[in-house]
Amino acid sequence: MNTQDTTQWCDYARGLMKLSSAERMQAELASSERVRRTVRHFQRVAELARSDTALAIPEYAVRVAKAAGSLRRHDSERLARRPFSVLFDSLRDAVVATGIRDLQPFRHQTVFRSDDYIVDVRVEQETNPNGQVVVGQLLRHQEKAQPVPRIPVLVLSGGRVVGRDLTSRFGEFQAAGLPDEPLELCLLIGDESCIDIPLGDSIC
């Protein structure tokens, strides 16, 4: 079966042939098992393609994909970086502040504030050779701190996305198996901005 024949049978399986051509091809189809196998294969592919178009893609997944593409292109105009301040850094502060999670020597824990958002994040070394783990929580700082659910979270290393998650209903997120390199955390706030935080050594 040459390329032209293959293209025609693909169109036949998708129902795109003119009636006169389809009738002629049906006769050939009836006389060849090899052609019937080929057409059945094309029909399965066409059916899978149709089912894929019926899938509803979650809005947050679209946001993550667009943001990841923008970050890889270093498109600074696509996502505005929100300013932040460091409230606590376990490598800098000798005293454990009130409300900070328990600390251990193999963890680097930092608490950031950006506008009315609080980001509590720690970087841990995994016990096996699988690299680092980033664990955190996003809160909205109002009269009472409220978790912020369904916010896309990206972890980058060297400008490439190496981990991703979505904040839970408690505002928590996690990414594991990350490379042993300086990391960058990006929380997507809305469609046009993100909280972009370096997760390296002590941040002053």
* Average pLDDT score over residue span 28-38: 83
Residues 166-193 pLDDT 10s? 999 999 999 999 998 999 999 988 877 8
- Cα dihedral angle (17, 21, 24, 29), rounded to 10 degrees? -20
Contacts of 151 (CB under 8 A, 6+ apart): 138, 166, 167, 171, 173, 187, 188, 189
Gap between the Cα atoms of 130 and 132, Å rounded: 7
Domain coordinates of the chain in residue numbers? 3-53, 59-199
Gap between the Cα atoms of 84 and 67, Å rounded: 19
The per-residue pLDDT for 53 is 66
Please tell me the total number of residues recorded for the chain in this structure: 204
Residues 101-155 pLDDT 10s? 444 445 789 999 999 999 999 999 877 667 899 999 999 987 678 999 989 999 9
